[in-house]
Amino acid sequence: MTLTDTRPTVLGEPISLTSVSKTYQTASGTLPVLREITLEIPAGQFVALVGPSGCGKSTLLKIIAGLVGYEDGAVRIGDQAPREGRRDIGFMLQQSVLMPWLDVAGNVGLPFAIARRTGQQASSRVHSLLEMVGLDHASAMHTWELSGGMQQRVALARALALDPGVMLMDEPFSALDEFKREHLNIEVAQMADQLGKTTILVTHSISEAVLMADRIITLGANPGHVVGDITVDLERPRRADMVSTARFQEISNQVREALALEKTEEYNL
């Protein structure tokens, strides 16, 4: 990827959540998923959500994206409420979900086709994105010819196609081996510096959260609620060798302590 070392002056959209609660209706009754989530995320900040399975991390992303509703509270992305189909929000999932009948360029260009924006401008944008994620040589390849890491790069380029102000990432690297995962962690963190998107990453990996984010929100479960808000004061751009530093370990331990404290309180109830 071709990256710069400084953040742009024009950033993504701010995100505001005030006392957001969510429940699901199940066969056995009402299931509370989120309880009074309040967060203020400034434009351009990279936030990681970390917590145990079932604490509502993915549900929170879907609420921000407008894919599911919520019962109480308020959510704003920029000056608008969430709604499905917003083109200023990019969403990247654990699986790349590429279209097998399209080549790499076709997959990256799919948002333009859906938005009925074709022509030279769209083609140029696709080429620029593939160059940025290091896949300009692979534009005509079939998706099944790509490694897992390459497929996720395609998915990342596709999510960025319409230049969203907000990027939502739901464990996008969890299926990769440790080496590929750390490599993409660094590249995506540096890309966030370059592009200035407001980014929320859901992950179970504490080291991934510390390596990539400006800030880590830890969540407790049953129902999901905020138990910690930890600043990651490592310098940017992030580098792989930061993992072995004392400060990296200190921040990682702060995250573990926030999650462990919540678990201890749960046991003592």
How do the domains of the chain map onto residue ranges?
A: 1-88+166-269, 99-163
Buried b (16+ CB within 10 A) or exposed e, 63-77: bbbbbbebeebebeb
Note the pLDDT of residue 264. Answer: 52
Whether residue 173 contacts residue 202, with contact meaning beta carbons closer than 8 Å, is answered with no
Note the pLDDT of residue 10. Answer: 47
Note the pLDDT of residue 6. Answer: 41
Whether residue 21 contacts residue 32, with contact meaning beta carbons closer than 8 Å, is answered with yes
What's the CATH class of domain 1-88+166-269?
alpha beta
Q: What is the mean pLDDT of each run of 10 residues along the chain (269 residues)?
A: 44 93 90 96 96 94 94 93 85 90 95 87 92 92 92 93 93 86 90 92 96 97 95 94 97 96 53
Note the pLDDT of residue 125. Answer: 93
Q: What pTM was estimated for this model as a whole?
A: 0.90
Note the pLDDT of residue 1. Answer: 47
Give the pairing type, strands 46-50 and 215-220.
parallel
- For residue 107, which of 147, 64, 144 has the smallest C-alpha distance? 144
Residues, the chain: 269
Note the pLDDT of residue 49. Answer: 98
Note the pLDDT of residue 268. Answer: 41
Whether residue 99 contacts residue 110, with contact meaning beta carbons closer than 8 Å, is answered with yes
